[in-house]
Homo-oligomer: A and B are copies of this chain.
Amino acid sequence: MTDIESFRRAATELLGERGFTCDPELVEPWLTDWRGRYTGKAVGLASPASTREVADFVALCAAHRVPIVPQGGNSGMSGGATPDESGASVVLSLRRMDAIRDFDPATRQITCDAGLILQALHERVEAEGLRFPLTLGGKGSATVGGLISTNAGGTQVLRHGTMRAQVLGIEAVLADGAIFSNLVPLKKDNRGFDLKQLLIGSEGTLGIVTAATLRLLPAIGERRVVWVGLPSIAAARQLLLHCEETAGEALEGFEVLPAHCLQSVLAHLPDARSPLLGEHGWHALVELVGTVDEAERLDGLVETVFASAMERGLVDDAVIATSETQAEAFWQLRDSIAPAERAIGPAMQHDISVPVARMAEFVETVSPEVEDRFPGTRAIGFGHLGDGNIHFHVLAPRGATRGEWEASEGKAISSYVYDRVTEFGGSISAEHGIGQVKRDELARLGDPVKLELMRSIKRTLDPLGILNPGKLVPLAPHGATP
């Protein structure tokens, strides 16, 4: 019996037929990442049903030196949940663990298994008049564990922070199968290093998140959604500051997109129309929220914010959604940018952040630079201006072939963009993580002190190098020095 065979037999014995399979039909759907950039191979697919089973399975993998690729909804943007092509790893899916362990609406805390899907979480807490203040396009597949492991962002970060800010406690299985149990619903706890913070955003390289306690907020009572036409991204930045100053805590969202993005979306969605007449170089989508009693206050606030913005010449034009349906239609325009751009042709997508104060300058400087250096391309930035995080996409010249262009000119473009981001004091990954897609760029551009710290922490917590090797940490697989 080969090693692999004995591992498979032991895994089946431990997890049962439902918990471990090598059936290619069942395994294959989970071997390719959501964006279709990577396809790997695996020894099998493990789907444990409890934290105890995860722990025992990790111990088994450690004994057999089988690398583990943890996976939630398989909707990550950086290939972090896809095994490599060696076929030596096992995919550990958390999807079977999707229970809500404890939910007390009065304390606004919920404890759930890692495999719970974001949309199911939303629906469960909304039924109690609460909300979980993080949402993103992949909410129908993204799991709580995946969101934690990647410290996910989305469109509500401006007001509520990333996933890290929502997590009160976690439970995780470490590389030796020990269970790190930190589901304490304590708001204040200064008993030493905050170890959960190390696991959040570590993409499964330090431990496998099995459960979490999350904070909840009261449901939004009233909202006002405004579509704004602006002359420039610099004007959008001015409007953002103005909104922050005037609307304060009521400001829930502030997204921007250039005219080109809106045109792509309108071409992509046959029934959609532009919220504003006339041409505007840039657009902003602004959302203000309040409690159910604050309808009047919100109307006054919108009036105050935009009347003074118009007066100060910050905006060209603005329209308030007059119904919830129209508000949703405005948001749909924003949420359709990615698929609309994809329909046009190949593009290099860069999820970057720079200091908020320099974002307008970045877009205005680097877009023409890229278009000059790589003739025929088109550079556009859109997204979370309020977070200093934009999605900077460079569309291929007309006629470019997807895979081929991406691997040649596309790669050079990305390197150029990341160089410039680094020069602007920014991050080459604002919210999508590093995974495999940016690992080498992190090695190239990262601060050597930080990289060395990451490597030594990785070696300490995962001495055998079995937790998601090849991802995030610029280390050769199995802990060898690169």
Contacts and interface: CB of A to CB of B under 8 A. Distances in A.
Contact of A194 (B104, B150, B164): B164
Nearest to A218: B248
Contacts of A428: 191
A189 B353 contact: yes
Contact of A355 (B153, B184, B452): B184
A388 B200 CA distance: 24
Interface residues of A, number: 77
Given A447-B181, A450-B195, A454-B192, A186 B248 contact: no
A151 B193 CA distance: 10
Contact of A450 (B180, B200, B447): B180
A308 interface: no
Nearest to A172: B449
Contacts of A341: none
A394 to B, nearest CB: 20
Nearest to A460: B460
B389 A188 contact: yes
A388 B472 CA distance: 36
Contacts of A384: 188
Nearest to A241: B106
Given A192-B442, A193-B201, A202-B193, A186 B355 contact: yes
A194 B427 CA distance: 13
Contact of A190 (B188, B430, B453): B430
Contacts of A178: 449, 452
A303 interface: no
Contacts of A473: 192
Interface string A322-364: 0000000000000000000000000000000111110000000
B197 A198 contact: yes
Interface in A127-168: 150-151, 153, 157, 162, 164-165
Given A184-B425, A185-B355, 19 more contacts: A107-B357, A153-B188, A153-B190, A178-B452, A184-B355, A184-B426, A186-B353, A186-B427, A187-B356, A187-B387, A188-B387, A189-B430, A190-B201, A190-B429, A190-B434, A191-B434, A193-B202, A194-B198, A459-B460
Interface of A: 104, 106-108, 150-151, 153, 157, 162, 164-165, 174, 178-182, 184-195, 197-198, 200-202, 206, 218, 241, 244-245, 248-249, 291, 297, 353-357, 384, 387-389, 425-434, 442, 446-447, 449-450, 452-454, 456-457, 459-461, 472-473
28 contacts: A106-B241, A106-B357, A107-B357, A151-B190, A164-B194, A165-B165, A178-B449, A180-B453, A184-B426, A185-B355, A186-B354, A187-B356, A188-B387, A189-B430, A190-B429, A192-B446, A192-B454, A192-B472, A193-B454, A194-B198, A194-B201, A195-B453, A195-B454, A249-B249, A453-B461, A456-B461, A459-B460, A460-B460
**What are the 7 tightest A-B residue pairs by CB atom distance, in nearest-first order?**
A197-B197, A189-B427, A188-B430, A460-B460, A188-B389, A187-B387, A190-B429
